[in-house]
Every structure is written in C-alpha cells, then in structure tokens.
Amino acid sequence: MKRSLSIILLSFFVSTGVLAAGPPHCKQQIVEKSVIEMCIVPGAALEHDVYTLKADKVLVFALVDDYSEKVELVHTIPDGLSKEFPLSKQGEKVVKIRGGCVPESKDSIEVARLCNFYWGKHHVVKDIRFVFK
C-alpha cells in the first residue's frame, strides 16, 4: 500500500511539473476522437527527463528517459462491465501500448527524442519530436 501511494504521488508530481526544472513541453494529437497528449517534463541540470502520455486528460504513464526507448504495456480487458479507455475497445481481449521515445544524436550529443506509440492498431503518437536546447 505504501509503495503504491508513493508511485501515485510521484506520477502526480511528475505529470503536474512539480518536480521539474521547467514547465512540461506537450504536444497533442487526435486519434479516434481521443485527445492524446505526449509531454516531456525536463529535469534539472544533470537530472533525468520524464515522458508522460495522457489520453483524454488521464495520465496513462510517466517514464524516466532511460526507460522510455522501448515500451510495451499490456492490458487484459476483464469480462463484463468495466471502465475502459475508448482506444482500448478494439474488439480484442488484450490491448497493448507499445513504442518509445528514441534518442537522436548529433556529434555524439543527444539533441532530441523522437516519440512514436501505438495503442493496439492505432498510431496514437506519431513522430513527436522533443528538441533539447
């Protein structure tokens, strides 16, 4: 219980920018009537950045940059009535979110991250680039 509360609080602080060096930089895309928002929450100097994905203003995940390159989240839709994201309703029992934010380098220095994610068959984050300044 204590660990779950810690994870929830960390996700909240990260998604709201409380633990960030600056405000989140977000980009939105509309997919199947859902608003998808991909953000980078920049860390302080020499700290990790955090990437967040929201669907219709609901936080789906928050990942530190080192673990954002290859992601696969799996959800099994329960039998009977359940509250599901509209994008999870694709006619399958299991839906996956997969993709990542891969680094782009120039002269051996990371200069950007390019993000692509699929939610089942839908390409929900398409070529979103976060350039570092």
- pLDDT score of 3 more than 80: no
- Structural domain count, the chain: 1
According to DSSP, the residues that pair with 18 across neighbouring strands are: none
Answer yes or no: are the C-beta atoms of 29 and 126 closer than 8 Å.
yes
pLDDT at 125: 98
Answer yes or no: are the C-beta atoms of 117 and 101 closer than 8 Å.
no
- pLDDT score of 15 more than 70: no
- pLDDT score of 10 more than 70: no
Per-residue pLDDT band for 20 (boundaries 50, 70, 90) equals low
Could you tell me the end-to-end alpha-carbon distance of the chain, in angstroms, rounded to an integer? 39
Answer yes or no: are the C-beta atoms of 119 and 98 closer than 8 Å.
no
pLDDT per position as a tens digit, 55-94: 999 999 999 999 999 999 999 999 989 999 999 999 999 9
Average pLDDT over residues 13-32: 77
Q: What is the DSSP string of 1-29?
A: -HHHHHHHHHHHHHHHTTT-SS--EEEEE
**Residue numbers of the domain that contains 81:** 2-131
pLDDT at 46: 78
